[in-house]
Homo-oligomer: A and B are copies of this chain.
Amino acid sequence: MIGIGVIGYGYWGPNLARVVTETEGCSIAAIADQSADALGRAHKRHPTARLAGDWQDLVNDPRVDAVMVATPVSTHFDIALAALRAGKHVFVEKPITETAAQAEILLEEAAHRGLTLMVDHTFVYTGAVQTIHDMIDSGALGDLYYYDSTRINLGLFQRDVNVLWDLAVHDLAILDFILPAEPMAVSASGVGHFPGSPENMAQLTIFFAGGAIAHLNVNWLAPVKIRQTLIGGSRKMIVYDDLQTSEKIKIYDRGVNLASDPEEVRKVMVSYRMGDMTSPQVSVKEALLTEIEHFVQCIEAKTRPVTDGASGLRVVKMLEAASLSMRQRGQPIDLVKLRRAS
CB distance from A211 to the nearest CB of B (A): 7
Q: B330, A205: Cβ atoms under 8 Å?
A: yes
Q: A221, B332: Cβ atoms under 8 Å?
A: no
Instruction: Please indicate the chain B residues that have their CB under 8 angstroms from the CB of A221 in the complex.
Output: 145-146, 232, 237, 255-256
Q: B276, A279: Cβ atoms under 8 Å?
A: yes
Q: B155, A256: Cβ atoms under 8 Å?
A: yes
Residues of chain A touching chain B, judged by Cβ–Cβ distance below 8 Å, are 21-22, 44-45, 47-48, 145-146, 148, 150, 152, 154-155, 157-159, 185, 187, 189-191, 193-194, 197, 201, 203, 205, 207, 211, 213, 215, 217, 219, 221-225, 230, 232, 237-239, 243, 245-247, 250, 252, 254-256, 258, 269-270, 272, 274-281, 325, 328-332
Contact flag A272-B197 (CB < 8 Å), given A187-B329, A329-B332:
no
The count of identical subunits is: 4
CB distance from A162 to the nearest CB of B (A): 13
In the bound assembly, the distance between CA atoms of A238 and B224 in angstroms comes to: 10
In the bound assembly, the distance between CA atoms of A159 and B265 in angstroms comes to: 9
Q: B272, A276: Cβ atoms under 8 Å?
A: no
B150, B152, B187, B190: the one contacting A189 at CB < 8 Å is: B187
| 10 A-B pairs with C-beta separation under 8 A | A154-B254, A157-B270, A159-B269, A201-B215, A203-B217, A207-B329, A217-B217, A223-B232, A223-B250, A330-B331
